[in-house]
Amino acid sequence: MSSKILIIGACGQIGTELTTKLREIHGVNNVIASDINTRNLDLVNSGPFEIIDAKNYNAIKDCCKSNTIKTVYLMAALLSATGEKYPMEAWDLNMNSLFHVLNLAKQKTIDKVFWPSSIAVFGPTTPRESTPQHTICEPTTVYGITKQVGERWCEYYHEKYDVDVRSIRYPGIISHKAMPGGGTTDYAVEIYHDAIKKGNYECFLSENTSLPMMFMEDAIKATTDLMQVPSESLSIRSSYNLSAISFTPKDIFESIKKQLPEFSISYKPDFRQAIADSWPSSIDDTMARKDWNWKESFDLETMTTEMLTQLKKKYNS
Ligand code: SER
């Protein structure tokens, strides 16, 4: 029997593209996608799929045992904006799903875990520019609190129970396949869709709000690379800082306008502005570059070209 991979939360923004990439690397039938519902039919029909609620320990355990799953990618979470609306639900989902998977690794049912953290672990007291790997983390969102505490538990399970858990503090991720859901950085995806569909965009952050961001292709490469390096190479078992590009709504607007001269933008900051203001504007990811040779490929201009090309195809077909 070969060992297999389970992705929990496979229908989400990152899960969708991670599933495709892992199936390319390991073979379609060795990667089981799961989510709480079947909302993403393309993904559901692309290979083995199971309905799993990430809060249901027995459902995860049964799936791992019956399919000889050895590696789990836990991508289910409530993000920063949704977490502020449903704080207890965010705590419940984000923490319990992590414990379920870490405990399966502690019992050696599975061998390896990927769990995403976020720039949301940082807060207003963190140095904003080139935020270091080890720094003040006093998050002010429920989502950030779950990610910060989750990081502590990951390191604890690694130290005490020899669990091979690996993690990245993702910046905002920009992609053209599945939409992001409920994050503060979602504007950087919505803006491309509205540029193509409507020719204008109303941005919920102010024009000079700089945040760390990354194109999906880079985020997937970082994730699969991190999971493939030998365990001994890794010096961080909480979560790695990871960076690619930092830009403001004005920067991304100007980059789109170069290719769509009629495009216009207006700014109407809402409650997400305070969240963005509490996060870093750029990240120092020296450790990721040193430990597993991380390097991004996309900058703002190449990302804009790719996003507009793909979305034009999508909306014209
Ligand atoms: N993209 C996430 C959010 O905005 C950050 O991890 O919530």
Q: Which of 143, 170, 187, 201 is catalytic?
A: 143
Residue 1 pLDDT level (bands cut at 50, 70, 90)? very low
Question: Domains (ranges, CATH) in the chain?
Answer: 4-172+214-241 (3.40.50.720), 174-213+245-316 (3.90.25.10)
Query: Which residue minimizes the CA distance to atom 3 of ligand 1?
Result: 183
pLDDT for 10 equals: 97
Q: CB burial class (10 A; 0-12, 13-18, 19+) of residue 271?
A: exposed
User: Which of 75, 86, 143 maximizes ligand 1 atoms within 8 Å of its Cβ, making it the mutation to test the pocket?
Assistant: 143
Look at residue 32 and tell me whether its pLDDT is greater than 70.
yes
Q: Is 183 in the pocket of ligand 1 (CB under 6 A)?
A: yes
Q: Is 167 in the pocket of ligand 1 (CB under 6 A)?
A: no
Q: How many Å lie between the centroid of ligand 1 and the Cα of residue 180?
A: 9
Ligand 1 atom at minimum distance from 186 CA: 4
Ligand 1 atom at minimum distance from 143 CA: 7
Look at residue 272 and tell me whether its pLDDT is greater than 80.
yes
Average predicted confidence (pLDDT) for the chain:
97
pLDDT tens for each residue of 120-158? 999 999 999 999 999 999 999 999 999 999 999 999 999
**Closest Cα partner for 54 from 79, 72, 28, 80?**
72
CA separation for the pair 83, 140 (Å, rounded): 11
Report the pLDDT averaged over residues 99-113. Answer: 98
Reply yes or no on whether 143 is catalytic.
yes
Residue 316 pLDDT level (bands cut at 50, 70, 90)? confident
pLDDT for 2 equals: 60
Q: Is 203 in the pocket of ligand 1 (CB under 6 A)?
A: no
pLDDT tens for each residue of 242-263? 999 999 999 999 999 999 999 9
Ligand 1 atom at minimum distance from 170 CA: 6
Report the pLDDT averaged over residues 66-94. Answer: 97
pLDDT for 39 equals: 85
Would strands 211-215 and 245-247 be described as parallel, antiparallel, or unpaired?
A: antiparallel
